[in-house]
Amino acid sequence: MAVPPSRLSPLVLLIDPVRMLPSLFLPLAGVLFVGGFSPSSFVWAMLGLVGSVGYAAVRWATFTYQIVGDRLELTRSLVSRSVRTIPLERVRGVDVTTPPLHRLFNLAVIRVDTGASGGAKQEGELDGVPLPEAERLRRVLLRRSRDARHEDHAETAGAGPESSLTRTATPTAVHERVYVRVPWQWLLYGPLSGAFLLTPFALLGGAIGLAFQWGSEFGLSERVAITLGEWLWNRPILLVLAGLLLVMAMPVAGGVMYAVFNWNFTLRRRDSSLVAERGLVTRRSVALEHRRIRGYEIAQGLLERRARVARLWAIVTGLGDSRTRGQLLPVVPRDFAMKVAADAIGPFGAELRRHPPKALQRRLFRAVAPGVAVAVAAFLLGWVWIGALALVVAAIGVPLGLDRYRSLGHAYDGARLSVRSGSLPRSQAVVERRAVVGWTVRQTWFQRRSRVLTVIAGVGAGSGGYAAIDTGEEQGVRFAAEVTPEWLAPFTTGH
C-alpha cells in the first residue's frame, strides 16, 4: 500500500531566511548603497527580502515526497510538474544530518545514496524532516530496499509475488547493538592524523581574503595594506614570531576541529545496517547496508603508527563519497580498531607473509637514487650546498625504504584476503573472498629483472582493486591461486 504524500516540516521556513542571508547580503547592501540609505532604498531592500522568503514558502508548498510501491517519488509542481523517481532497489544507504539551525527545531536533512556517479544531483535529498520521522523514514527506505531485491529474487525463483508482499507487510522489531562510543579522551589523537593541521593557515587566508574584499568599506585602502606589509617586512622578528605562533597553533586548532567533527562518535548495528554517528555542531548519521560491505581498511600515518593508533573504513559496493561515508572509526588504538572490525564485519585470522629481499632492494633504490643523482649533478656543477642537501635527503631515504619494505605483506585465511603497503600513509585492506571479481598481474621491465610482480585483486567495492606489491613471481601467482583456485587452474596446471 502506498504511503500518502508528505511535506517537509513548516518549521523549515524559519530556517530558510537565515540560510539565505549570506547570498542576499551583497545584493541588499548594493541596493542600500545605490539608494544612499534613503527610506526608499530600505523599502526596496525589504521587498527583495520578503520576495525571497515568499519564494522559499512557495517552494515548500509545492514539494512533496512519497513512497509508491518500489520507488521513492520527489514531486515539485511550481510552474510545471517534475517528478524525481528513485527505485528502492538502488538505495545503498541513507544519511541523516542535523545542522545547527535544524537542531534548534528538531529537524534533519535526509540524503538517499543511490551509488550514482553524478554526485549529489543524482541522489535524493529531503531538507527539513522532523528528526523522529527522519529515523523512521530511514528504516522504511532501507527495509523496502531489501524487500524490493527480495521480491525480484523471489519472482525469479518462482516464489510468486504474494509471498513477497506478505513478507513486506510483516512488522519487524528494531534490533540494535552498540559496538563503540568513542571516549572523548581518544579525540586527543586527532592531531596525529594531520587532517586538520592546516586550519590556522586556512583561517588566516580567509581573514586576508575578507580584508581585501571588504577593507575599503572600513577605510582600509590598498595604500594602507602596502604600508602595513612594508612595516612587517622591515621587522623580521615579528614575522618569525608570527610563523612560530601559526606552527604552534596547528595541533591545537587541528585538534579542536577534529573534535568538533568527530564528537561522540558512535558505531552501532541497527537491524541489518551499520550506523555511524558523529559531530558536535552538525550531527551526521550514516547507515551502510551490511550486505553491501565487502571488508574494511585500516589506515595509519607515520605519527599514528608511532602512537599505535589507526583509522577504520568500510569497503562498500556502490557507495558515493566512500572516504567520508564509509568511515567506521576515527583515530583510535589500533588493537581496538581491529577488534571492532572483527565484531562489526568479520575477523581476519592469518599472519601477513613477507615479500622477497628483491622488494627491499627496489624500495631502497627508489628512495635513495633520486637524491644521489641530484647530489652528483650538483657537485659537478659546483653547487656544493645543494649537493650536500641532496645527500641528506638520500640518507633519509634509507629508513624510509626500510619502512616501506616492512609494510609490504599479503595473506589469505580461507574467507578473507589482506594486502598491506605504504609508509607515510600505510593501509591494510581486508576483503571478503566473494568480493573478488578478477585478477591483474602486472610486471614492469624493472620488476622482470628483479623477478617480482604485482598482483591486484579486482573488487567491485572501495577503490576497485587491492594490490600485493612486489611479491615473488611464484609467491604472487600462488596467492591468487589460493584465493580463487578454480579460476587459475587452467593456467597453473603442470607448473
Cβ–Cβ contacts within 10 Å for residue 280, how many?
A: 12
Contact 266, 253 (CB under 8 A): no
| CA distances for 167 relative to 118, 171, 273, angstroms | 34, 9, 19
> Alpha-carbon distance 296 to 428, whole Å?
8
Question: Which one, of 333, 406, 326, lies nearest residue 364 by Cα?
Answer: 406
Grid coordinates given for 289: 547496508
> Alpha-carbon distance 324 to 425, whole Å?
17
Grid coordinates given for 393: 635527503
Domain ranges of the chain: 12-172, 188-262, 348-355+408-495, 360-398
The arrangement of secondary structure in 12-172, i.e. its CATH architecture, is: Roll (2.30)
CA atoms within 13 A on the CB side of 253: 15
| pLDDT at residue 200, rounded to an integer | 75
Q: Is 199 helix (H, G, I), strand (E, B) or coil?
A: helix
Grid coordinates given for 16: 530558510
Question: Which 8-state DSSP code applies to residue 408?
Answer: -
| pLDDT at residue 159, rounded to an integer | 42
Orientation angle between helical segments 357-380 and 384-407, nearest 10 degrees: 170
> Alpha-carbon distance 159 to 150, whole Å?
10
| pLDDT at residue 460, rounded to an integer | 82
Question: Which one, of 287, 303, 283, 298, lies nearest residue 340 by Cα?
Answer: 298
What sign results for the dihedral spanned by CA atoms 441, 442, 447, 449? positive
Structure-derived torsion over alpha carbons of residues 366, 370, 371, 377, reported in degrees to the nearest 10? 150
N- to C-terminal Cα distance for the chain?
61
| CA distances for 98 relative to 6, 72, 113, angstroms | 20, 22, 17
| pLDDT at residue 80, rounded to an integer | 75
Contact 429, 315 (CB under 8 A): yes
Number of helices (H), then strands (E), belonging to the chain: the values are: 17, 19
Grid coordinates given for 436: 573478488
| pLDDT at residue 146, rounded to an integer | 66
Tens-digit pLDDT profile for residues 381-432 = 999 999 999 999 999 999 999 999 999 999 999 999 999 999 888 999 999 9
| CA distances for 219 relative to 212, 215, 216, 445, 465, angstroms | 11, 6, 5, 65, 57
| pLDDT at residue 171, rounded to an integer | 44
Grid coordinates given for 28: 541588499
Element (DSSP H or E) covering residue 458 = strand 452-459
Grid coordinates given for 347: 575477523
Spans of the chain, pLDDT less than 50? 1, 153-171
Contact 413, 348 (CB under 8 A): yes
Count of all residues that appear for the chain in the document: 495
Tens-digit pLDDT profile for residues 30-81 = 777 777 777 777 778 788 778 888 888 888 999 999 988 888 999 988 777 8
**Bridge partner list, 72:** 67, 86
